[in-house]
Amino acid sequence: MDKNTLSQPVTELKGVGNKVAERLQKLGIWQIQDLLFHLPLRYQDRTRLLPLGSLRFHQECLVEGTVKVSQIKFGRRRSLLCHIEDGTGSLVLRFFHFSKVQQQQLKQGARVRCFGEVRTGPSSLEMVHPEYQIIASDKVVPVDQDLTPIYPTTEGVHQIGFRKLIKQALTYLNDERLLPELLPQAARLHDVADFSLIEALLFVHQPPPDVDVELLMERRHPTQRRLAYEELLAQHLGMRRVRSQAQQHKAPILKGDGKHRQALLEQL
């Protein structure tokens, strides 16, 4: 098999063994090209840090602060509560399931960056089980440059691992010959005519931070419409091909002896 084609099995990618390949097959992913067309369900914005004082209920965001108080709260459910501040406001990080290692990481004075959904707690806004990382006080950690895609996944394949596989698959698009443009620009709908298939795939997997997120979430962005148009056209052409093949074969004539004809007519 040609090592430079998108029809290679996913086991050619780094980190994909037989077990991972079997899990991906549950999602209909057998070849590298299947990963390219496994599109995100939604997106997360981790491209900017929001001040704690600006947070709103139900907002999903990236924040950073210093742990001022870290304590275990006993009640109906034992939980680890970490109060963080950034000079503009405060936020509580709540963990119902935690280890001693996490307790040590989230100690007073630790600088923490976390991502999650803002909820209303008993006395203040909080995030429950946010994704977090501890950052050294003298270290500058850049934020992501693109929106973070969230993919349909399956047991045993987490989002971070899935994004790494997609990123590997996208490198194949550097060679345009591997995914040729079959649809001429004149045949495309007006609002999607400016995007090639490769451009549309790169955009939906790695949308820039200045994109209209609402359009993406509602699947109305021109790049998403471009891919939908490609899929619908391929389906339509496939159905026409099947119909054409069927018309080339004449159905056999079924001849009878006519002995049941009169009985049928009498029952009408």
Torsional class of 19: left (φ above 0), alpha (ψ -120 to 50), beta (otherwise): alpha
- Token pair in block for residue 20: 């991972």
Average of pLDDT values for 52-70?
96
Q: Coil, helix or strand for 137?
A: coil
| The token pair that represents 263 in the structure block | 């009985």
Indicate the pLDDT class of residue 213, thresholds 50, 70 and 90: confident
In a domain, 220, yes or no: no
What is the domain-level CATH number for residue 71?
2.40.50.140
Determine what percent of the chain is predicted with pLDDT higher than 70: 94
What local confidence, expressed as pLDDT, does residue 230 receive?
Answer: 80
Residue 184 within a domain: no
Residue in 57, 94, 58, 93 with CA at minimum distance from that of residue 75: 94
Q: What is the mean pLDDT of the chain?
A: 88
Specify the pLDDT at position 189. 59
**In total, how many domains does the chain have?**
1
Whether 162 is in a domain gets the answer no
Determine the pLDDT at residue 187: 56
Residue 268 domain-assigned (yes or no): no
Q: How remote is the C-alpha of 262 from its chain's centroid?
A: 65
Residue 122, Ramachandran bin (φ over 0: left; ψ between -120 and 50: alpha; else beta):
alpha
Predicted local confidence at residue 200, as pLDDT:
92
Is residue 65 in a domain?
yes
Q: Would 83 be classed as within a structural domain?
A: yes
pLDDT at 226: 87
pLDDT for 78-132, tens place per residue?
999 999 999 999 999 999 999 999 999 999 999 999 999 999 998 899 999 999 9
In this prediction, residue 190 carries a pLDDT of 61
130-177 pLDDT per residue, tens: 999 999 988 889 999 889 999 999 888 999 899 999 999 999 998 878
* Domain assignment of residue 73, yes or no: yes
For residues 231 and 220, what is the distance between their CA atoms, to the nearest angstrom? Answer: 15
pLDDT at position 4: 63
What is the domain extent for residue 127?
A: 52-134
The torsion angles phi and psi of 86, rounded to 5 degrees, stand at -135, 10
Helix (H, G, I), strand (E, B) or coil at 226: helix
Q: Are strands 125-128 and 90-95 parallel, antiparallel or unpaired?
A: parallel
Is 87 within the bounds of a domain?
A: yes
